Amino acid sequence: MNTLILGSGGREHAFAWRITQSTLCDKLFVAPGNAGTAQIATNLPISYNDFEKIAEAVLANDIDLVIVGPEEPLVKGVRDYFQSREELKHVLMVGPDAHGAMLEGSKDFSKNFMAKYGVPTAKSETFTKDTLEDGLRYLEDQKLPIVLKADGLAAGKGVIIALSLDEAKESLTEMLVDAKFGDASSKVVIEEFLTGIELSVFVLTDGDSYKILPEAKDYKRIGEGDTGLNTGGMGAVSPVPFATEKFMEAVENQVIKPTMAGLKAEGIKYNGFIFIGLMNHEGEPYVIEYNARMGDPETEVVLPRIESDFLALMIATAKNKLHEADFTVSKQHAVTTVVVAGGYPGDYRKGDVIVGYDSVKDATIFHAGTKPENGLVLTNGGRVMALTGMSNTLEKAIQKSQKAAQDVLFDGKYYRKDIGLDVLRY
């Protein structure tokens, strides 16, 4: 099987790492990839949003399977594009069409979907520029804090948790009238604030059958103790102790099954990942958001725990044969720590030489924002590498991951030293 992975982060390096371990793997390409994927696959210098160039590369390299990493090409319709061209129709793909990707691409769509199919979620209303006055009045009757969400994709920045009514009104006006998040905030969902512990649940589906992948906990804030600005994710752990059998049963029955039934009822043929961001609110699951892809850095702890052939799972997903696929999960603990460039998540440094990774022996290195240049590996993004430790105990997995984060060196490096410690205490 010749495979192309679209994307350039730690998630895509983890996909590539697992796929090269498969006996089914022939040639592996990543577009555009990073310095890590360059070591185990062929990087193609193509943007994952350039569908024509991707199509050319698929035909030129006899690619049988395309796995889409990030949300943007999904929301822009990469699957629909392949289906619309006769010579590309046969190409297998993991990733939903544009309609399915609206679960992530439009908060208004996903909230309506949840309401229609009885998926538990926070109470909400959607407003536009034309209904701004109604929105401002609506805010007056809501409890604080209150959550405002840009409808469209906003690179993880479109959510505002307002602590006061003034802040909420100001934010709503900025989003709708001043287009704070561009087109993404032409609609704004105002949502009740839910307290509880967050959990990431991942479902792999071919539209009929599904597998629940290992769950994970993400560390979103830049600072230790979950303080400071939001990031793409500073680390992750899997398994998560509060994802008990009882809680996961509730997730399957109250969230996953109605979601699958809803997709069918809407006529959405979904072949891909569904990443469900959940709040455990007083022991019950509530959906915070859907994503049409895997999480990053969650993938870097989820994939190491999947024992079955990952490429076989991807092929089965694309071929509507997931019910036949072997799926087993390791009981080991996986912890990943992300090392980031100085300044991230604000303006950050780029082009610093990375050293020290050769001395990492007890952890798996997943490159994210890196690029190869003249035999060196340079920083090329905010999140530079994710370092995953695995062990029979959470404590040892943390130690391995943290030791690796310490060993990798570049100017301005920063990482959180508390990844997994809250879970250890739980």
Strand pairing report for 42-43 and 28-32: parallel
d(CA 89, CA 70): 21
User: Which among ligand AMP, ligand GLY, none contacts residue 295 (Cβ within 5 to 8 A by kind)?
Assistant: ligand GLY
Nearer of residues 135 and 297 to ligand GLY, judged by Cβ: 297
Specify whether the CB–CB gap between 404 and 362 falls below 8 A: yes
Cα 336 to Cα 27, 148, 339, 377, distances in angstroms: 28, 30, 10, 20
User: Which among ligand AMP, ligand GLY, none contacts residue 288 (Cβ within 5 to 8 A by kind)?
Assistant: ligand AMP
Q: Which of 146, 144, 114 is nearest to 127 (CA)?
A: 146
Cα 244 to Cα 213, 284, 340, distances in angstroms: 14, 12, 32
Query: Which residue of 215, 218, 300, 407 would you call a contact of ligand GLY, by CB under 6 A?
Result: 218
d(CA 184, CA 191): 16
d(CA 275, CA 203): 6
Query: Which residue of 158, 295, 345, 372 would you call a contact of ligand GLY, by CB under 6 A?
Result: 295
296 binds ligand GLY (CB under 6 A): yes
Q: Provide the binding-site residues for ligand AMP, judged by CB under 6 A.
A: 122, 147, 156, 159, 191, 193-194, 198, 220, 277, 288-289
Nearer of residues 132 and 159 to ligand GLY, judged by Cβ: 159
215 binds ligand GLY (CB under 6 A): no
Amino acid at 302: V
* Closest distance to ligand AMP from the beta carbon of 159 (Å): 4
Burial class, 132, CB count within 10 angstroms (exposed 0-12 / middle 13-18 / buried 19+): middle
369 binds ligand GLY (CB under 6 A): no
12 binds ligand GLY (CB under 6 A): no
* Closest distance to ligand GLY from the beta carbon of 295 (Å): 4
CB atoms within 10 A of CB 164: 11
User: Which among ligand AMP, ligand GLY, none contacts residue 77 (Cβ within 5 to 8 A by kind)?
Assistant: none
Please choose, out of 124-132, 254-262, 292-300, 365-373, the segment that lies near ligand GLY by the rule CB under 6 A.
Answer: 292-300
- By CB under 6 A, the residues from 219 to 278 that bind ligand GLY are 232-233
Binding site for ligand GLY (CB under 6 A): 218, 232-233, 291, 295-296, 298
